[in-house]
Structure 1
Amino acid sequence: MPQSRLLVPLLLAVALPLSAAPTAHAADRVSVTELPALPGQTASVAGVNDFGQVAGSSSGNGPQHAVLWHRGKTTDLGRGNATAINRRGQVLGLEYLSGSGTYVQHPRIWHNGTTTDIAPSGSGWVSATAINSAGAVPMTYSTSPYGYHQEAASLWKDGRQQGLQLAGGPHLTISVINDAGLVAGSHLPMFGTDSHAFRCREASCGRLPSVPGTGRYAVSAANESGVVVGTRDNQPLRWEGEGVTVLPGGVGGVAANPQAINERGDIVGWTQDATGTKRATVWRGGRQVVLDVPGPAEALAISDSGDIVGWSSASGQRQAFLWRHGRVVELGTLGGAYSVPVALNNFGTVVGHTTAADGSYRAAKWRVLPTWPTTTR
């Protein structure tokens, strides 16, 4: 393996001048609507694509079902829990199979009315949370239906399984695949200190350079240039090629979100200020930029156009915001006091969770009209 190298840029934090609250004009550009659950249930959101298709789950009375929301219609995809959606509208999810063993969970792909079971042969508990535009899905799994340790890894691609040659578990995690097929994740041994992040290309896997610490790595996202981002021990990290950079700003972390980095290489997350307060942060060109949003706050996702969504809890309740072109827009709620975004697309659609006036939790979609003409999605 190439020798690890640690690069720590000495750069100053930059605070952008933002309004503490949006103007009336900015507020008028936001609409919030509920994404309805199946009858008698509660909905949650997993993601949104650039065609405005939203994937999520509906649970409560009876089995959990995956759902797809699009153009005002709620489609029941069948039993399971949606974890991601790609540009083609393929929804990835997981279904717990009772009666097949103590720990049996299979990944599903729902698309155009069909359901495909993509579990590796002989697997027990399977975890799969990422799908690329070609429908490729990396996954980790236990090799017995009576244990949940993630001991092995595989890639579903072109209708078949392809094993990923990684160090055995028991705690393998894969959370990232880009459209070029780069896969990234982390390994935590049962005993010892050999925790590391890894990257796979065409089933050839290798360790990513390490940084000092004792905790496990949390790999969040990768862009099409192959830049991988994540966190270890409150150190926000960026891997490119054979190098690793600890992002500036001191204590902090990259957002645990597949949209934590965009195609320009901007990265979102949080850093801690001198008072110990969490601040929403974006790293651009290696520089730390602290968004002037009241803390505690965190930036959760960024689009390719540079829109950033996150939450601020200065009022005591988390409330969703969108940052665009140096301005902050409060996204609002469905009548309650709480809202948190989950994902956004490049056409002004944000999805997440909020409360209604009675305090109940709802899945929600915000439409934030852009300041430039675009196609409506």
Structure 2
Amino acid sequence: MLATNPMTGPAAQATTGGHGGPRPVAGGSDRPIAPVDLGFAPDLPYHSATAINDRGVVAGTASGGSYDLHGFRWAVGRSVALPDGAPGPSEINNGDQIAGFVPHRDRLNTGFVLDAGRGVVDTGFPVDGQNERGEVVGALPGPDGTRRAVRWWRGQTTDLGAPPGTSSGGVAISDGGQIAVRVSDADGNHARVARWAGGRLDALPTLPGGGAAWATDINGRGDIVGWADTATGSRHAVVWLGRRLVDLGASLPGRTSQATAVNDAGQVVGQTSDAHGQPGHGVRWDLGRPRDLGQPRDLGTLGGPVSSPIAINDRGDVIGDSTSADGHRHGFRWRDGRMTALGDFGGGESRAAAINNRGQVVGDALAPGGHTRAVLWQ
């Protein structure tokens, strides 16, 4: 167990940690949002906050190297070390259940679930998604060497299945228990998408004449987003509404695209690239407005050429990373048509990892000397 450096009092409401104020971002239209140092294990060089729930409770990790990970929980200005069996948290729900992965040098990584009632439970697989009921999903090696999508809940692991000769993996799970599943051949190629619900794995369609498809997220209604290849080999952002496949990328002629996240309001965010594969601007589609369906809204950038959304909350706030005019990469929060940089500690870079429905963002920020700190942006 590592010692912590709790943050208390007024300092918890502003930039802390002795690294200086937020660095101005060239090209940003607003002053960067000041970072709050979460104050865990200051003797370790690398930190990141990885998840936040709607109560503002944060999970994250501190590291001295690839296999030297130490998980922590932060709430109300104080950080506390997690048990040794919970070194790599990636998920936290509103019931404070934390889940994530456990790295191993000599075998495949495993995973864990941590809650107040059960303590740390070894799931046997790295957790790729968690819902509010405490169900988690991922993949386990099967007896024939292929990987099988699985769901863990209340101590029981369920094999979600896969067609003969294929591998599968759970990508994300809705609060209602529907699961977005990735299906591929034994070599990991020719990916397809399926939805697991009610004990049944249902293969979903691809674009006409196309090939691979990939899932990235699922919302409370069971809408799945990701990407699919067209007949000409171009990659398009798509959404599966039930069994109906909607090509969101069709409105971006000459560009490839992929959807990365969807909220319960039916708003989708994604990334575009040009014909040569060079990343471009992030975009947002609104599935709740039929006349706007498939019409992307450009999110802009922080002054540079690229913005890459990674998540969206239920009120439409978007987070991700963007380049500034001076070439540095910064986390951003996009709200009501404006993109604002997430400040750092003088090292010139920041990275967003998660956002809650209150608009609070967590991730990491660079300090001078190349060390990172786990931070909250209010």
Structure-1-length-normalised TM-score: 0.79
Aligned partners of 2:165, 2:346: CA distance in 1, in Å?
A: 45
Do the aligned residues in 1 keep the contact of 2:190 with 2:211 (CA within 8 Å)? no
- 2:89 paired residue number: 82
Amino acid corresponding to residue 317 of structure 1 in structure 2: H
In the aligned structure 2, how far is the partner of 1:220 from the partner of 1:193? Answer: 16
Q: Does residue 46 of structure 2 align to residue 35 of structure 1?
A: no
Indicate yes or no: 2:64 matched with 1:60.
yes
d(CA) in 1 for partners of 2:146, 2:122: 16
1:51 to 55, 61, 64: 55
**Contact 1:312 1:320 (C-alpha < 8 Å) held by counterparts:** yes
CA distance in 1, matches of 2:246, 2:256: 14
Structure 1 residue 38 displacement after superposition? 2.6
| Distance in 1, Cα, partners of 2:61 & 2:34 | 22
Aligned with residue 28 of structure 2, among 21, 25, 48: 21
Is the contact between residue 38 and residue 78 of structure 2 (CA under 8 Å) also seen in structure 1?
Answer: no
User: What letter corresponds to residue 316 of structure 2 in structure 1?
Assistant: G
Would the aligned equivalents of 2:355 and 2:361 in 1 still touch at CA under 8 Å? yes
Contact 1:43 1:362 in 2 (8 A): yes
Q: Report the equivalent of 1:299.
A: 309
SS at match of 2:63: strand
- 2:289 matches 1:290: no
Equivalent of 2:221 in 222, 225, 229:
225
> 1:374 matched to which residue of 2?
none
Which of 356, 362, 368 in structure 1 is aligned with 2:373? 362
* Aligned twin of 1:254: 259
Counterpart AA for 1:66: G
Residue among 329, 333, 336 paired with 2:347: 336
Structure 2: how far apart are the matches of 1:334 and 1:56? 18
Residue number in structure 1 paired with 2:334: 323
Is 2:244 aligned against 1:243?
Answer: yes
Looking at structure 1, the residues matched to 314 and 113 of structure 2 have their Cα atoms a distance apart, in angstroms, of 26
State the SS of the aligned residue for 1:336. Answer: coil
**1:210 and 2:206 are equivalent in the alignment:** yes
Paired with 2:188 and 2:90, the residues of 1 have a C-alpha distance of 31
Which deviates more, 306-315 or 260-269?
A: 306-315
Secondary structure of the equivalent of 1:65? strand
Q: How big is each residue's C-alpha offset from its partner over 1:39-85, in whole Å with a ceiling of 9 and x where there is no partner?
A: 53222222111111111222216742221111122121123311211
Q: Which runs of no fewer than 5 residues in structure 1 stay unpaired? A: 1-18, 121-125, 368-377
After TM superposition, give the deviation of residue 31 of structure 1 in Å.
Answer: 2.7
CA contact (8 A) 2:334 2:340 kept: yes
Distance 1:37 1:303 in 2: 26
1:265 maps to 2:266: yes
Q: Deviations over 1:163-217 (max 9, x none)?
A: 21222576422220010000112112125965311110022111111125445x3
Q: CA deviation at 1:106?
A: 3.1
CA 154–173 in structure 1, closer or farther in 2 if over 3 Å, else same: closer
Return closer, same or farther for 1:271/1:63 CA change in 2, 3 Å cut-off: closer
CA distance in 2, matches of 1:345, 1:252: 25
Task: State the alpha-carbon separation in 2 of the partners of residues 109 and 334 from structure 1.
Answer: 32
The match for 1:178 among 174, 188, 191 is: 174
Partner of 1:107: 111
Q: Structure 1: how far apart are the matches of 2:58 and 2:70?
A: 14
* One-letter amino acid matched to 1:40: D
Q: Note the 1:112-123 alignment, pairs <5 A.
A: 112=116, 114-119=118-123
Partner of 1:141: helix, strand, or coil?
A: strand
Tell me the CA shift for residue 297 of structure 1: 1.3
Q: Is 2:157 aligned against 1:137?
A: no
Q: Offset of 1:271 from its aligned partner?
A: 1.6
Structure 2 residue corresponding to 1:350, chosen from 355, 358, 361: 361
State how far apart, in whole Å, the 2-side matches of 1:191 and 1:141 are.
15
Give CA-to-partner distance per residue, 1:131-189, whole Å, 9 cap, x none.
11111112211147xx9x65223221233222212225764222200100001121121
| Structure 1 residue aligned with 2:280 | 278
